Amino acid sequence: MNEKRRKLGGRPPKFDETMIKTAIFLRPKQIEWLDSVADREGVTRTDIIRDLIDAEMDQGLAPRSSP
């Protein structure tokens, strides 16, 4: 364990990267869907969101220009 991590405590970073906490607003139906997928896969909401974003980034898709 390196000196910096020992001083800060906590667990090692996921995926060899430090994750940055963020918040988003979702509609109730989106949360229901997210929870059902997370339950089925045995992972967290965060894991599903991270996987969805990574998949879009891997495909080289640009974000929407308008809602």
- Domain regions of the chain by residue span: 13-58
pLDDT number for residue 60: 83
pLDDT in tens, 17-66: 888 889 999 999 999 999 999 999 999 999 999 999 999 888 887 666 65
Residue 3 has pLDDT above 60, yes or no: no
Q: Say how far apart CA 27 and CA 49 lie, in whole Å.
A: 14
Q: Say how far apart CA 5 and CA 65 lie, in whole Å.
A: 40
**Residue 42 φ/ψ region, left for φ over 0, alpha for ψ in the -120 to 50 degree band, beta for the rest:** left
CATH 1.10.1220 fits 13-58, yes or no: yes
Q: Which residues contact 27 (CB under 8 A, 6 or more apart)?
A: none
Q: What is the mean pLDDT of residues 8-16?
A: 68
